Amino acid sequence: MNAALKKRVITAAILIPLLILAIFYAPAYFFMIMIMVVFAACAYEGASLLMPAHSTPQKGFFAAFVALSIFVISPKAPALALLAVGFWGGVLGFFMKSSWRDALKRPHIALPVLWLCLVPAACSVWFLRSHFSPETLLAILLVVFASDTAAYFVGKRFGTTKLAPMISPGKTRAGFLGGVIGAALAGLILSPFLSHSFCASILLSILIALVGTWGDLFESILKRVANVKDSGKLLPGHGGLLDRMDSLFAVLPVVLAIKVLL
């Protein structure tokens, strides 16, 4: 096991048990505070990524605004999730053009985009736990983690053809396919907590892998704009919070929208 992978495993081994404990045992008010803190940190990291020249108080104000938005809007999470579906449905294709990526360097565009990435996902976390079940939320997260892990190892072992070389040179088609298969297998195992049937659970898990890749690629666009490899250094072996959570930003509101509508 190389040093980078060792750090990655150690970080995951520490964070996953803490996450499980929080999902199942944290009081509602404390769970909300945790969500606000984590996503405010993501907002600060994102603002630092896209607007490095701006002052710390300006980035801190944006992070605080994201946290306040989560607290106020969480009860309306389903409506916000539907808005996020529209956002994720068009955002990647919109910013894939290099001419449009430069727009993300402008605060009046970068900050609303970051808000739409973060707030619907955060509100979806709270709503899935409180209105569905902790088991459902954890199952969704585990499918995402299984997809990411399978994509990482399959891509390392078999990846040759790049998935989106102009956006993310490290991602391969083999890794993408491995992620889809990993998600489907996880969905099969976690079926009782995801949907009413094995077939529906597997289909939902495959969708999670596809949408998660969408979120992953968009975060890669943000890093391309900032000309950095990682969004931060907070999580050893993983990079920053955005690097670890990028798939979730797209997956969580999309899954919530599906569950509410169906």
Q: What is the pLDDT of residues 188-197, one digit of tens each?
A: 999 999 988 8
**pLDDT at residue 118 is higher than 80:** yes
| Residue scoring higher pLDDT (224 or 117) | 117
- Domain tally, the chain: 1
Domain that holds residue 78: 3-261
- Residue 186's pLDDT band, with cuts at 50, 70 and 90, is very high
**pLDDT at residue 5 is higher than 90:** no
**pLDDT at residue 2 is higher than 70:** no
The pLDDT assigned to 103 comes to 79
* % of the chain residues with pLDDT over 70: 95
**pLDDT at residue 133 is higher than 80:** yes
**pLDDT at residue 212 is higher than 90:** yes
| Residue scoring higher pLDDT (3 or 144) | 144
The pLDDT assigned to 24 comes to 96
Q: What is the pLDDT of residues 46-86, one digit of tens each?
A: 999 888 777 788 899 999 999 999 999 999 999 999 999 98
The answer to whether 240 touches 232, Cβ cutoff 8 Å, is yes
As a whole number, the mean pLDDT across the chain is: 89
